[in-house]
Amino acid sequence: MKVKENYVNVIPMKEIRSTHDLLFPFPRYNELRSQADIRYDETRKCWDLFRYADIQFVLKQPKLFSSQRGRSTSKSSILTMDPPKHTKMRALVNKAFTPKAIKQLEEKIKDLTHDLLHRVRQEQTFDLVHDLAAPLPVMIIAELLGAEVQDRDFIKKHSDALVAGAEDDSNEAIQAVVDMQKQAEEELSQYFSHLIKKRKETPTNDLISLLIQAEIDGEHLTEDELLGFCILLLVAGNETTTNFITNAVRILTEKPDIAKSVRQDPSLIPQLTEETLRFYPPVQAIGRIAVEDVNIAGQEIKKGDYLISWIASANRDERKFEDPDTFRLDRKSNPHMSFGFGIHFCLGAPLARLESNIALEILFNTFEEMTCATDDLKPIQSTFVFGVKEFPVKVTRY
């Protein structure tokens, strides 16, 4: 079997490969959506879904569309589980993400944000990704898991590798990404295996200790399940939030009128973060596999077919959102799907929102003005993740 048939999630869609389109793919999604609600891509061997209603249907039907999809990593993960095991695992993990637990992180997030910005206090220009948006969520995830904060560069490097995409659809390019991801997973597994062993010997109040002690139907989680969750939380809680914060600041530099409105009324920050999620979603798509034959938008999907739900397109669907290509702080209804939908709705969504709200509030309070300091942004080379590798900002302090 060819590489490209095994690893759909790392193969780029042919319409979105240029630097320009990776930096701003939304007109492409609009074109594709106008051409067809759903289409089969012969090269990638998958169905692409572009409409909000169809994507919502797929994501809320776990009995019809399985999460146990093909992937380049091997560890068992809550993200790729179906009910009933997913239901039990989710209930267990939710204990670490209760409103009370998230609220307890608020002061930590504020302190870390202030500390990170203090390190660039003498700079007129700094890289928002490297200096704030990347280290902040890694530090918070390290805090949750009980990992060492000094390991954050190792953690960040390997989580970046796990969401990387191929530069094209050649077997060589795909294999290079697959090999990189396997190596990253192996090294992260070794790292967390060591940490799990330490926590079994000496439990603390971190998430790994909680998961080790927990039971589902009288059984403890296996080593693979523990490792799978650690790696998932690392990638989902780190990469997504990094791009979430960066994308919000990117919008503020691209749309000075939005920045002015929020600066005049900081109570608009939650609307800013929510509209950022819709307008520049950090995750572009979600994959599923059909469990049985099913008809979607007039197309016959066969059992075993792979489906890619382009939530970045759904978030711009004119049938669902009024004036979808305009960034609006006054949007009254904003049911975007940037955190997914249904049973796999992102359990870390409240934490990501909190980190973004706090980071943006402190940025507004620290700097009178922020502008992008380059005309040469580099997109993240990923099939599903939307963001930039660096985002240099020129700042004016009060």
pLDDT in tens, 384-395: 889 999 999 999
Q: In this model, does residue 345 exceed pLDDT 60?
A: yes
Task: Quote the pLDDT of residue 21.
Answer: 95
Lowest mean pLDDT among 46-55, 169-178, 242-251: 169-178
Residue 156 maps to a domain: yes
More confident call, 257 vs 144: 257
Task: Quote the pLDDT of residue 80.
Answer: 63
Q: What are phi and psi of 343, to 5 degrees?
A: -65, -20
Residue 332 maps to a domain: no
Residues 6+ apart with CB under 8 A from 356: 241, 244, 245, 248, 273, 276
Any idea what the CATH number is for the domain that residue 60 is in?
1.10.630.10
Helices (H), the chain: 3-6, 19-23, 26-35, 52-59, 85-93, 99-103, 106-118, 128, 135-145, 152-162, 171-201, 207-213, 223-254, 256-264, 269-279, 311-314, 349-366
Q: In this model, does residue 70 exceed pLDDT 50?
A: no
Q: In this model, does residue 224 exceed pLDDT 90?
A: no
Residues 204-209 have a mean pLDDT of: 86
- What's the helix, strand, coil split of the chain in %, to 5? 55, 10, 35
Residue 324 maps to a domain: no
| Rounded Cα gap, residues 84 and 166, in angstroms | 34
Q: In this model, does residue 274 exceed pLDDT 60?
A: yes
Residue 176 maps to a domain: yes
Task: Quote the pLDDT of residue 98.
Answer: 78
Task: Quote the pLDDT of residue 347.
Answer: 81
Residue 322 maps to a domain: no
Q: How many domains does the chain have?
A: 1
Q: What integer best gives the mean pLDDT of the chain?
A: 88
Task: Quote the pLDDT of residue 139.
Answer: 87
Residue 9: give the domain boundaries.
Answer: 3-317+337-378
Residue 272 maps to a domain: yes
Task: Quote the pLDDT of residue 384.
Answer: 87
| Rounded Cα gap, residues 278 and 177, in angstroms | 28
Q: In this model, does residue 333 exceed pLDDT 60?
A: yes
Task: Quote the pLDDT of residue 81.
Answer: 66
Lowest mean pLDDT among 177-181, 288-292, 354-358: 177-181
| Rounded Cα gap, residues 165 and 311, in angstroms | 18
**What secondary structure does DSSP assign to 212-223, as a single string?**
HH-EETTEEPPH
pLDDT band at 217 (very low <50, low <70, confident <90, very high): confident
Q: In this model, does residue 156 exceed pLDDT 90?
A: no
Specify which residues 372 forms β-bridges with.
393
Lowest mean pLDDT among 113-117, 191-195, 262-266: 191-195
Q: In this model, does residue 269 exceed pLDDT 80?
A: yes
Residue 215 maps to a domain: yes
Residue 330 maps to a domain: no
More confident call, 149 vs 141: 141
Answering whether pTM is above 0.85, one says: yes
Helices (H) and strands (E) in the chain, counts: 17, 12
